Amino acid sequence: GQNIDQPTEMTATEGAIVQINCTYQTSGFNGLFWYQQHAGEAPTFLSYNVLDGLEEKGRFSSFLSRSKGYSYLLLKELQMKDSASYLCAVGAAGNKLTFGGGTRVLVKP
């Protein structure tokens, strides 16, 4: 089976940095995704890691350590529009995609 854990909620200040951690245990691993979901909307893709290391994409970066079953999403220069839920998802063999419970990030002025 698969078990994916991430914090429920985080609060940060506009302009600051926030790091959202995700730990996972899966039977088979085929990549880790981060999605952003604003309230009332569908999730949208942010990043994908399948090899160890850091992937940077503008203000967002995602890190993966396969040996530790660990990933984080780093949001820099936070903006008010970054207030959303951030979902960690693990891909398993056969293309099954399982999501964690999501982390609600609240950005305050």
Partner 1 sequence: GAGVSQSPSNKVTEKGKDVELRCDPISGHTALYWYRQSLGQGLEFLIYFQGNSAPDKSGLPSDRFSAERTGGSVSTLTIQRTQQEDSAVYLCASSLGTGLRNTEAFFGQGTRLTVV
Which residues lie near partner 1 (CB under 8 A)?
30-31, 33, 41-45, 48, 50, 87, 89, 91-92, 94-102, 104
Tell me how far apart the alpha carbons of residues 35 and 47 are, in angstroms, rounded to a whole number.
7
As measured in angstroms, the least distance from the Cβ of 23 to partner 1 is: 15
Of 1 and 109, the one with the shorter C-beta distance to partner 1 is: 1
Beta carbon nearer to partner 1, 42 or 109: 42
Q: Of 44 and 79, which has the nearer Cβ to partner 1?
A: 44
Q: State the minimum distance, in angstroms, from the CB of residue 79 to partner 1.
A: 23
Sign of the torsion formed by the C-alpha atoms of 27, 32, 37 and 42: negative
Decide: helix, strand or coil at residue 10. strand
> Taking the complex as a whole, how short is the minimal distance between the CB of residue 98 and partner 1, in angstroms?
5
CA–CA separation, 33 and 95 (whole Å): 12
Residue 15 Cβ vs partner 1, minimum distance, rounded to whole Å: 27
Quick check: helix, strand or coil at residue 82?
Answer: helix
Closer CB to partner 1, 87 or 107, in the complex: 87
Asked whether the beta carbons of 56 and 75 are under 8 A apart, the reply is: no
- 3-state DSSP call for residue 51? coil
* Encoded amino acid at 89, one letter: A
